C-alpha cells in the first residue's frame, strides 16, 4: 500500500509532533497528502517533525499550534486550515492522561483532559465534516484507546473521554454514512483503540522492568504487559499508522462507526 492515493488531499493530524501522531502524519505524507501538523513542542521539535513529514513524501506540511483545550483556538486553527487547504482526512490523536483515584482528581484536571481528549475532537469534526460531505470524500479517524472499551482504576477522565470519543464517532458515522458514494469514497468515521504502544512516553516503564529482568528488554516488556495484553508484544507507532492509512482508502468506504482494537487480545478476555 505504498501508492500515493492521497495525492491532492489534505490531512490534519492533532498531537502529531511526536509518538503515534507523528507516525500517522508521516504515513499519510507517504500516501501523498499535504499535512497540517498540530502539536506541542519546542521550535526545534516542531521543525524536526515538519521536516520528517516532508521527507516522508508530503508535498507540503505546516504546523498549527492551537491549544486544543481552548475552543476559540481550535476554531481559529480550523479556519486557518480551511483557508490553506480544507481537510479531507482528520485524525484526532492528541491526548493527555493523569492517573489518580476519583476522589483525588482535581476538577481542573478533569476539565482539561475532557477538553483535549474529547471536546477538541468534537470541534474539529463539526468544522471539517460538512466540507467533506460537500466534496464527497472524507475520513475521520479518532485515536481512542483500549480504555475506550474497558476501564482501569485511577484513570477516570481518560477512560470517560475515550468512551465518549467512541460514542461521538458512532454518531458522526451514522450522520454522514450516506454522504458521497463508492466512486467518490464517501465519508467514514472510525476509532482505533490501541493497547500498549512502544512510544517514548512509556520507555521509562520498559527500562525499569528490563532492569528487574537482568537487562533483558523483551522480558521487561513481557512482564509489563503480562497482566492485560495476552500477546505480550507492544504495537509500534508505525503499525497504528498503517491501519489509519488503510482506513483512508476508498475500499474502506463501508467501514464506519467502528472501534477497532489493536490490543493483543486485551479486550477479547
Active-site residue list: 158
List strand residue ranges (DSSP E) for the chain, in order.
10-13, 34-38, 61-64, 89-92, 137-143, 186-194, 259-262
**Cα gap 81→104, rounded to integer Å:** 39
Task: Read off φ and ψ for residue 73, nearest 5 degrees.
Answer: -65, -40
The three-state secondary structure class of 123 is: helix
> Minimal CA–CA distance to 191: which of 170, 208, 171?
170
Q: What residues contact 184, with CB distance under 8 A and at least 6 apart?
A: 135, 136, 137
Q: Residue 32 has which C-alpha cell? A: 501523498
Q: Measuring CA to CA, how many Å separate 39 from each of 16, 46, 117, 240, 246?
A: 5, 8, 13, 18, 23
The residue written with cell numbers 521543525 in the block is 47
Amino acid at each position: 500500500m505504498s501508492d500515493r492515493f492521497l495525492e491532492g488531499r489534505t490531512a490534519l493530524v492533532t498531537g502529531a509532533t511526536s509518538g503515534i501522531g507523528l507516525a500517522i502524519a508521516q504515513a499519510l505524507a507517504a500516501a501523498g497528502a499535504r499535512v497540517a501538523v498540530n502539536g506541542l513542542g519546542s521550535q526545534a521539535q516542531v521543525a524536526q517533525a515538519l521536516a520528517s513529514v516532508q521527507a516522508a513524501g508530503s508535498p507540503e506540511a505546516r504546523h498549527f499550534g492551537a491549544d486544543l483545550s481552548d475552543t476559540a483556538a481550535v476554531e481559529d486553527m480550523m479556519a486557518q486550515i480551511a483557508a490553506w487547504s480544507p481537510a479531507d482526512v482528520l485524525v484526532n490523536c492528541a491526548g493527555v492522561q493523569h492517573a489518580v483515584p476519583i476522589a483525588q482528581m482535581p476538577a481542573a484536571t478533569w476539565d482539561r483532559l475532557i477538553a483535549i481528549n474529547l471536546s477538541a475532537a468534537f470541534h474539529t469534526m463539526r468544522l471539517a465534516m460538512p466540507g467533506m460531505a460537500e466534496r464527497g470524500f472524507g475520513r475521520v479517524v479518532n485515536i481512542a484507546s483500549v480504555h475506550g472499551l474497558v476501564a482501569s482504576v485511577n484513570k477516570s477522565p481518560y477512560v470517560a473521554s475515550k468512551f465518549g470519543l467512541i460514542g461521538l464517532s458512532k454518531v458522526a458515522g451514522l450522520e454522514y454514512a450516506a454522504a458521497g458514494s463508492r466512486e467518490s469514497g464517501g465519508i467514514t468515521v472510525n476509532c482505533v483503540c490501541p493497547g500498549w504502544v512502544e512510544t517514548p512516553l512509556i520507555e521509562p516503564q520498559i527500562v525499569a522492568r528490563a532492569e528487574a529482568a537482568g537487562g533483558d528488554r523483551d522480558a521487561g516488556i513481557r512482564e509489563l504487559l503480562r497482566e492485560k495484553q495476552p500477546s505480550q508484544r507492544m504495537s509500534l507507532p508505525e503499525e497504528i499508522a498503517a491501519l489509519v492509512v488503510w482506513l483512508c482508502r476508498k475500499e474502506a468506504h463501508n467501514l464506519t462507526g467502528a472501534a477497532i482494537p489493536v490490543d493483543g487480545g486485551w479486550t477479547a478476555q
